[in-house]
Homo-oligomer: A and B are copies of this chain.
């Protein structure tokens, strides 16, 4: 006897259920944020019974963390995409500054283009123990935070930033950009016109540059 779910699949084995569940989870997160990634709905979309998920994820929270890693990776790729648009010139001070700006711009663009994924990427797990940070990286092998660090290193190498100011600089830059992203997504700046948001984004990046040196 075959239920509708199994009939829709045909075979007993799914083939690649883990990947399918993850994709479904990502889709849920994209449209509804972290709270929307619900285990039963993911299995429904995979055409499988709820408990099947437990063969691949220890819990709903485990699934969410996997989705979160995926979201972080998507963010990293968005930042890399912005970096790829840069002219591949010599590592001058100006180009190092442009790197930093591109990193920030990619971050902000992603936050606005994919608010659900962005919020998921930085959602804190309900279960407070085991705070293993999900590692989501882009093509460069670096995560969002790593890309920022690399940009800052470049600034130092190019001579645009004093080495003495380097330690902890990522916290300053990240704070500013992340805070703005929050404002834009569900703070007072939500549904602000795109062009105006872009203006303020540039101003925040100005502030970071000014304040870093």
Tell yes or no: A189 within 8 A of B by CB: yes
* Cα distance, A8 to B43, chains bound together (Å): 44
Q: How far is the CA of A196 from the CA of B172 in the complex (A)?
A: 14
CA distance A180 to B207 in the complex (A): 15
Does A187 sit within 8 A of B, measured CB to CB? yes
Set of chain B residues within 8 Å of A195, measured between Cβ atoms: none
Most B Cβ at <10 Å: residue of A145, A178, A206, A211: A211
Q: Are A182 and B178 in contact (CB under 8 A)?
A: yes
Q: What is the total number of residues of chain A having a CB less than 8 Å from a CB of chain B? A: 37
* CB interface residues, A 156-213, toward B, < 8 Å: 168, 171-172, 174-180, 182-183, 185-190, 200, 203-204, 206-212
Interchain CB contact under 8 A, B168 and A203: yes
User: Which secondary structure dominates chain A's binding surface?
Assistant: helix
- Check if A179 sits within 8 Å of B186, measured CB to CB: no
Decide if A124 is an interface residue (CB 8 Å cutoff). Answer: yes
Within the complex, which residue of B133, B188, B207 is in contact with A133, where a contact is CB–CB below 8 Å? B188
A152 CB to nearest chain B CB (Å): 14
Specify which of B126, B145, B179 is in contact with A178 (CB 8 Å cutoff): B179
CA distance A190 to B207 in the complex (A): 25
* Residue A131 lies at the interface, judged by CB distance under 8 Å to chain B: yes
Q: Which residues of B contact A211 (CB under 8 A)?
A: 206-211
Q: Which residues of B contact A119 (CB under 8 A)?
A: 124
Of B35, B174, B180, B207, the residue contacting A212 (CB under 8 A) is B207
Closest to A205 in B: B211
A187 engages B122 (CB within 8 Å): yes
Q: Is B187's CB under 8 angstroms from A180's CB? A: no
A133 proximity list for chain B (CB < 8 A): 188
A176-B204, A177-B179, A210-B210 known, 13 other contacts, Cβ within 8 Å: A122-B186, A168-B203, A171-B183, A171-B189, A172-B176, A172-B200, A172-B204, A174-B179, A175-B204, A176-B176, A178-B179, A179-B179, A179-B182
